[in-house]
Amino acid sequence: GYFEQVVRQCRYSSKDLQGIEFIDSYVFNKVEDIRFNSTVGKYVGYTEHGVKNAEAWNKGPELAGELGELERVCKPNADLHY
């Protein structure tokens, strides 16, 4: 069989809202293929397949959706983590 997983997380380094980082990782067969990091501001591929997808996703509507997740998900929920 195959193993596929998407891990979405908000990382809070301080109570200051400037220290929040949103990470969206795509894993296939226990190997991370591609990751969006709000600090970097784009997708980064870690495998041949991931690099190909990162290039396409950085040019498409997927990137715009990810860029809004920090504001939509992480910042409003920061108080829950402190």
Please state the domain count of the chain: 1
Among 16, 63, 14, smallest CA distance to 43 is for 63
60 falls in which pLDDT band (50, 70, 90)? very high
Confidence (pLDDT) at 80: 80
Confidence (pLDDT) at 28: 94
Kindly report, residue by residue over 43-57, the tens digit of the pLDDT: 999 999 999 999 999
- Tell whether the model's pLDDT for residue 20 goes beyond 80: yes
Confidence (pLDDT) at 27: 97
60: containing domain: 4-80
More confident residue, 81 or 34: 34
Contacts of 50 (CB under 8 A, 6+ apart): 26, 32, 33, 34, 44
What is the pTM assigned to this prediction? 0.85
Domain harbouring 35, CATH code: 3.10.320.10
